[in-house]
Amino acid sequence: MNSQICVDASLVIKLGLPEEESDQVEALWREWQLQQREIVAPPLLYYEVTSVLRYAVHRERLCQEEGTLILELLLKLPIRLLAPHNLHVTAWGIAADLGHPAAYDAHYLALAQILSCEFWTADRRLFQSAGSGMPWVKLVSSNDQSSSS
């Protein structure tokens, strides 16, 4: 594995919204910064983050101003967006292999696979679907850190 770490929207959103596992994500983020790890994601990361925050405002979990401030904060995070030429084809294959009806999540898996780096998520279903065939997929978990270390 290299010094890059791929993250998805389920992890990044926890840096802006106080949710279960936000403390664990913040600790991981600080650790990665101290280790000077490069955080990467496919370009769809910010589309998903924007949608999650917009939904939170729509559902009145946040007011418009809070949503805007959190979005601006998350957009400033040092995350390098990468789209290697084979990202979509690799994501297509991973989604097919995992039996996923859509390829959104597979793009994160594909990027990590292409870069040979760890992929961190807070999405338990995605972690479980990746299974033992993708040991570089890590889960942030508040009740079982052994599954994410």
The number of helix segments (H) and strand segments (E) in the chain equals 7, 5
- Residues 53-68: what's their mean pLDDT? 96
The answer to whether position 95 is within a domain reads yes
Q: What is the pLDDT of residues 71-130, one digit of tens each?
A: 999 999 999 999 999 999 999 999 999 999 999 999 999 999 999 999 999 999 999 999
Cα separation of the two ends of the chain = 14
DSSP-derived letter for residue 14 is: G
Range(s) of the domain holding residue 20: 4-44+78-147
What's the pLDDT score for residue 149?
42
Q: What is the pLDDT of residues 17-40, one digit of tens each?
A: 988 899 999 999 999 999 999 999
**The overall pTM is greater than 0.75:** yes
The answer to whether position 55 is within a domain reads no
Q: How many domains does the chain have?
A: 1
pLDDT at 145 over 60: no
The answer to whether position 37 is within a domain reads yes
The answer to whether position 108 is within a domain reads yes
CATH number at residue 138: 3.40.50.1010
The SS3 assignment for 55 reads helix
The answer to whether position 106 is within a domain reads yes
pLDDT at 146 over 70: no
Q: How confident is the model at residue 147 (pLDDT cuts 50, 70, 90)?
A: very low
- Residues 59-66: what's their mean pLDDT? 96
The answer to whether position 51 is within a domain reads no
- Nearest one of 2, 1, 5 to 108, comparing CA atoms: 5
Q: How confident is the model at residue 132 (pLDDT cuts 50, 70, 90)?
A: confident
What's the pLDDT score for residue 131?
87
Q: Between helices 64-75 and 44-58, what is the axis angle to 10°?
A: 160
